[in-house]
């Protein structure tokens, strides 16, 4: 063979060798197609061979993957809307079944898996009240439906290991939000009414106590005033009696002046008396 023919032969042999060897990395599985039909599947990690030109290889990642989903609206047992945002954690369990069901396209797998998960969640949420869905144990909702989900996912060659509910929301166009706000408003109004009633009761007790104390203080003050007035009158009478005993004439004169002063205090009083009336005895010129 001529030397210049060796180069094409070597290149052809090298291309055939490269076309017959493939490598599967750790965590992946391979599937060999012979003229479009599955010849071998579930080929594990390592170096493998195939027939060049007539066989092709598809390699799939069998590690755990997060399978996203769009939030879905469900009805509770009370016919109230709730929006559930969730995601699944799964992996390819059967490469052959996965390829036959989806053609090896992950987007197709996600699109077909989403209704299976959503229907399972719908069955569980439909059987619960809104309070049980929102405040209950979310893992219980998932656990009871995981077997049913995997039964449907097995037809796609997929195994779902976990399903996580990220968030539960009340849809903005739902009457549930208005009902919740009305319930909260009624509860706050009930608390406010109770506090106002308690405050009014305490205020009435304070006012009643203050009125009672006021009456007691006024009564004691009036008692003390009467006592002081009595003592003052007694002292005045004693002084008057002593004065009268010392000089009866002066005492009578003093008392008459006080009577005149009181009778004409306003400066406009008019008293009509007889000329010889004893009341005028100190006003006569002969005195």
Instruction: Give pLDDT, residue 143.
Output: 76
pLDDT digit string (tens) for the chain, length 287 residues: 455 566 665 555 555 555 677 888 888 888 888 887 888 888 888 888 887 778 888 888 888 888 888 888 888 888 877 888 888 888 988 888 888 888 888 888 888 888 888 888 888 888 888 777 777 666 777 777 888 888 888 888 999 888 888 877 776 655 655 666 777 788 888 888 888 888 888 988 898 888 888 888 988 888 888 888 888 888 877 877 777 677 676 666 667 667 767 766 676 767 665 666 665 565 555 54
Secondary structure letter of residue 272 according to DSSP: -
Tell me if 34 is assigned to some domain.
Answer: yes
Asked whether 146 and 165 are in contact (CB, 8 A), the reply is no
CATH code at position 153: 3.30.479.30
Q: Are residues 158 and 72 in the same domain?
A: yes
- Note the Cα 111 to chain centre separation in Å: 36
Please state whether beta strands 81-92 and 55-61 pair in parallel, antiparallel, or not at all (unpaired): unpaired
235: its two tokens:
């002292």
Positive or negative: CA dihedral 83, 87, 93, 94? positive
Tell me if 153 is assigned to some domain.
Answer: yes
Q: Are residues 196 and 167 in the same domain?
A: no
Q: Are residues 57 and 151 in the same domain?
A: no
Instruction: Give pLDDT, residue 186.
Output: 83
Tell me if 54 is assigned to some domain.
Answer: yes
Tell me if 23 is assigned to some domain.
Answer: yes
Tell me if 178 is assigned to some domain.
Answer: no
CA angle (81 as vertex; 78, 82 as ends), nearest 5: 110
- Structural domains of the chain, count: 4
Last residue of a domain, one of 173, 196, 214: 173
Q: Are residues 86 and 163 in the same domain?
A: yes
**Residue 277 CB neighbour total at 10 angstroms:** 11
Instruction: Give pLDDT, residue 189.
Output: 87
In whole angstroms, give the CA distance from residue 18 to residue 49.
9
Q: What is the domain extent for residue 229? A: 188-246
Q: Are residues 26 and 80 in the same domain?
A: no
Last residue of a domain, one of 213, 228, 246: 246
In whole angstroms, give the CA distance from residue 283 to residue 2.
179
Upper half-sphere CA count for residue 126 (Cβ side, 13 Å): 7
Q: Are residues 112 and 153 in the same domain?
A: yes
Q: Are residues 44 and 122 in the same domain?
A: no
Q: Are residues 103 and 120 in the same domain?
A: yes
Please state whether beta strands 28-34 and 55-61 pair in parallel, antiparallel, or not at all (unpaired): antiparallel
Asked whether 48 and 23 are in contact (CB, 8 A), the reply is yes
Tell me if 182 is assigned to some domain.
Answer: no
Last residue of a domain, one of 20, 39, 61: 61
Asked whether 150 and 97 are in contact (CB, 8 A), the reply is no
CA angle (138 as vertex; 134, 143 as ends), nearest 5: 145
Tell me if 181 is assigned to some domain.
Answer: no
Q: Are residues 96 and 160 in the same domain?
A: yes
In whole angstroms, give the CA distance from residue 36 to residue 54.
9
Tell me if 130 is assigned to some domain.
Answer: yes
Secondary structure letter of residue 269 according to DSSP: -
Q: Are residues 73 and 53 in the same domain?
A: no
In whole angstroms, give the CA distance from residue 255 to residue 281.
12
In 3D space, the residue among 163, 177, 167 whose CA is nearest the CA of residue 81 turns out to be: 177
Q: Are residues 36 and 85 in the same domain?
A: no
Helices (H), 30-137: 95-102, 106-126, 130-135
Instruction: Give pLDDT, residue 174.
Output: 55
Instruction: Give pLDDT, residue 260.
Output: 67
In whole angstroms, give the CA distance from residue 60 to residue 104.
8
Q: Are residues 137 and 157 in the same domain?
A: yes
If you compute the radius of gyration of the chain from its CA atoms, what whole number of angstroms results?
56
């Amino acid at each position: 063979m001529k030397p210049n023919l060796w180069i094409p032969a070597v290149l052809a042999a090298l291309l055939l060798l490269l076309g017959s060897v493939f490598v599967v990395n750790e965590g992946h599985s391979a599937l060999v197609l012979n003229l479009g039909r599955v010849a071998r599947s579930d080929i594990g990690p390592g170096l493998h061979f195939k027939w060049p030109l007539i066989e092709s290889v598809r390699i799939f990642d069998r590690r755990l993957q997060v399978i996203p989903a769009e939030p879905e609206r469900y009805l509770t047992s009370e016919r109230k809307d709730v929006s559930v945002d969730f995601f699944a954690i799964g992996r390819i369990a059967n490469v052959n079944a996965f390829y036959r069901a989806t053609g090896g396209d992950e987007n197709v797998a996600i699109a077909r898996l989403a209704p299976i998960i959503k229907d399972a969640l719908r069955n569980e949420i439909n059987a619960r009240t809104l309070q049980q869905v929102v405040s209950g144990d979310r893992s219980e909702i998932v656990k009871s439906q995981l077997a049913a989900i995997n039964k449907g996912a097995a037809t796609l060659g997929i195994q779902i290991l976990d399903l996580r509910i990220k968030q539960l929301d009340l849809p903005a166009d739902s009457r549930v939000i208005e009902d919740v706000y009305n319930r909260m408003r009624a509860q706050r109004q009930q608390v406010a009414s109770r506090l106002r009633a308690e405050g009014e009761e305490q205020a009435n007790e304070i006012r009643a106590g203050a009125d009672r104390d006021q009456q007691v203080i006024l009564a004691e003050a009036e008692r003390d005033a009467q006592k002081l007035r009595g003592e003052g009158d007694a002292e005045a009478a004693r002084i008057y009696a002593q004065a009268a005993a010392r000089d009866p004439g002066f005492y009578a004169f003093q008392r008459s002046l006080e009577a005149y002063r009181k009778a004409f205090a306003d400066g406009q009083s008019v008293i009509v008396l007889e000329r010889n009336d004893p009341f005028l005895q100190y006003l006569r010129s002969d005195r």
